[in-house]
Amino acid sequence: KTKKDIRLEMSGTDVELDKSIIESLADPLTHLIRNAVDHGIEPASERLKAEKEEVGLISLKAYHEGGHVIIDIMDDGQGMDEEKIRQKAVEKGLIQAEEAAEMRDEEILQMIFLPGFSTSSTVTDMSGRGVGMDVVKTNIEKMGGTIEIFTQKGRGTTFRLNLPLTLAI
């Protein structure tokens, strides 16, 4: 639908989770992958200008770390634009301009988890309605987990789901 060529790589497919947890992760993972396709990965022409491979890469990686199961959803796209998020948050009245100016980039990134928040200027059947990232965060937190964002402009974004190992088999 997006007319983008994307390669999906998965590792850690041997990490076991309880069936109910896997079912609870289906929607959040689907949403995060759709966002990576729609918002993260650039069209081929832009990727070539940025001296990247024409084919975008999305990676899903699951692993154990210190009593947790970590699931990373990574893309090698354009990264998130903290300034654009800051402007949209002010524009939508979610925060005051003065407050936004004082917020660290990490705090600004958290704005994407607010209900109704979207940086999309157009609504597609893939995304842009401002429905989803708040639900993703809520679903992960219901499982006792957390979600973190790591982004680098022009290099890509990683969403890290951190779930307690007690949910694993």
**Angstrom distances, CA of residue 44 to CA of 2, 62, 142:** 11, 28, 38
CA separation for the pair 27, 123 (Å, rounded):
19
Eight-class DSSP state of 65: E
Alpha-carbon dihedral sign for residues 110, 116, 120, 121: negative
Neighbours of 139 (CB within 10 A): 18
Q: Is the pLDDT of residue 40 over 90?
A: yes
Q: Is the pLDDT of residue 54 over 60?
A: yes
CB 53 within 8 A of CB 3: no
Which has the minimum average pLDDT: 10-24, 58-72, 76-90? Answer: 10-24
CA separation for the pair 59, 76 (Å, rounded):
9
CA separation for the pair 82, 36 (Å, rounded):
16
CB 128 within 8 A of CB 122: yes
Tell me the CB-side half-sphere exposure of residue 75, using CA atoms within 13 A.
Answer: 25
Q: What is the pLDDT of residues 89-145, one digit of tens each?
A: 999 888 899 999 999 999 999 999 988 887 766 555 555 444 589 999 999 999 999
pLDDT of residue 138: 94
Q: Is the pLDDT of residue 167 over 80?
A: no
Secondary element (H or E) of residue 37:
none
